[in-house]
Amino acid sequence: MPLPARASAAALSAATALALATACGMLPDDAPDTTAPYARLTAPEVVNKALAATRAAKSVRMTVETTSSEGPVEAFVATDIRGECTVTLSMGAAGTMELVRTGGTVYARSDAAMLRSASATDVKKLTGHWVEPAAGDRHAEMAEHYCDRETFLGHLAPKTGTARKERTTAPGSVTPALTVTGGTDDGKWRADIATDGRPFLLRLRLPHGGTEHGTGRTAAVAVEFSGFDKPFTAKKPKT
């Protein structure tokens, strides 16, 4: 049965007002996202779910990018919930180090450039060989620092109250995600959270958090998370 003319006009007016408000950006910044599974959650609630899921993953891979006094830093990390870990750490001209932590023991293997930047006494003998790093080895300490996902999640956790939903990637994207941003006195942060399956944290950008271990220096850091719950074994290298 047709709606009365007055009711139809009112419905049309409401729909037009909503369209205009959306087009002009007049809706609340934290209006509920229209895409499942986060339609009924606020942005802080979404981020907290992502933190919980990412912490609970049995294993995870991380790609870390930041800077240090020795140049750009890139680390490829695989770690599990028991603390087993492998890291490949590259520091520009300072060189490259591989690190394995298994059974509570840390082993490292460095190229010649990394050993020279660490003022090693016998570069030729040590290059390419697995050793237990000496106490105070800042490169090994930095690499091992990245073994713990909480190194990064712990920086985000206190900031969740500032979270605001931004956008959801278009259907058909390789990894559908909701982008959430926030800001504190430290600067603006950004997180991309999976919208397909468990709410894992996929990408994280922090204005501070790339701490150069032992120096107190901090820098912006970007982390990509992947390989959640995939089988992972850190094998003891031959020394």
Give me the residue label for tokens 């073994």: 147
Residues forming beta bridges with residue 107, ordered by sequence position: 100
The span from the first CA to the last CA of the chain, in angstroms, equals: 84
- Average pLDDT (99-120) is 86
- Tens digits of per-residue pLDDT, 82-108? 999 999 999 887 788 999 999 999 999
DSSP state of 131: B
- Average pLDDT (1-20) is 46
- Tens digits of per-residue pLDDT, 32-82? 445 568 989 999 999 999 999 999 999 999 999 999 888 899 999 999 999
- Tens digits of per-residue pLDDT, 168-208? 876 556 788 999 999 988 899 999 999 999 999 999 999 97
Contact in structure between 108 and 128 (CB atoms under 8 Å): no
* Report field, pTM of the whole predicted structure over 0.85: no
What's the half-sphere exposure (Cβ side, CA atoms, 13 Å) at 124? Answer: 0
* Distance from C-alpha of 126 to C-alpha of 148, rounded to nearest angstrom: 27
Contact in structure between 176 and 168 (CB atoms under 8 Å): yes
pLDDT of 8 > 60? The answer is no
